[in-house]
Amino acid sequence: MAFELPALPYAKDALAPHISEETLDYHYGKHHQTYVTNLNKLVDGTDDADKSLEQVIMGAEGGLFNNAAQVWNHTFYWNSMAPGGGGEPSGEVAEAIGSAFGSYDEFRSQFTEAATTQFGSGWAWLVDDGSGLKVIKTANADLPMKHSAKALLTIDVWEHAYYIDFRNARPNYISTFLDHLVNWDFVAQNMAS
């Protein structure tokens, strides 16, 4: 069974003006597609060919891990955003963030710090590590499931995620993500599952 590039949960121009269609053409259409293509080449004819993406990730190292994890990470990232998203959460997500961080502002501060200070390429995450909600950051293709944590939200801080729209201004990309793009409904679904 070949892995496939999952469909975006919105049109390629739906996140504009915050994330442009051009960025999605490259980031989704080229980068994400390349990870899927490479993953299929790496598993072809192996025992991994019939495994789920998560099974491949948990048992893989090196190039196989990097490509499988990046397929998963990017799929999760697209779902972490929504047209008309962003701002403060409500309901159970707001309560959980308030309980874990003291306030949305403190969560925002920690999430921004993690995303800003991730040196080089990587991700910032809101996770449930079994003891509660936490903000973590991972380098390159690394992801929460490899650390026994459940991903709830992510932002991609690889330069290809923001360079077309924000050039080298990663902090502006992060604040735009939080103010205009976060899909709190997706976070709520992840918390409930």
131 assigned to some structural domain: yes
The enclosing domain of 166 has a CATH number of: 3.55.40.20
Cβ(36)–Cβ(69) below 8 Å: no
- Residue 29 belongs to some domain of the structure: yes
Asked if residue 121 is part of any domain, the answer here is yes
Supply the pLDDT for residue 94: 98
Tell me if 14 is assigned to some domain: no
Residues 49-78 have a mean pLDDT of: 98
Over residues 79-84, the mean pLDDT reads 98
Give the integer Cα–Cα distance in Å for 96 and 177: 20
**How many domains does the chain contain in total?**
1
Within-domain flag for 12: no
Q: Exposed, middle or buried by CB within 10 Å (0-12, 13-18, 19+), for 113?
A: middle
Residue 72 domain-assigned (yes or no) = yes
Residue 108 binned pLDDT confidence (cut-offs 50, 70, 90): very high
Query: Residue 5 domain-assigned?
Result: no
Closest CA to 70 of 6, 134, 1, 152: 6
Asked if the structure places residue 100 within a domain, the reply is yes
Euclidean distance between CA atoms 78 and 28, whole angstroms:
9
Domain span including residue 166: 20-193
66 phi, psi to nearest 5 deg: -55, -45
pTM higher than 0.95: yes
HEC string for 43-63: HCCCHHHHCCHHHHHHHCCHH
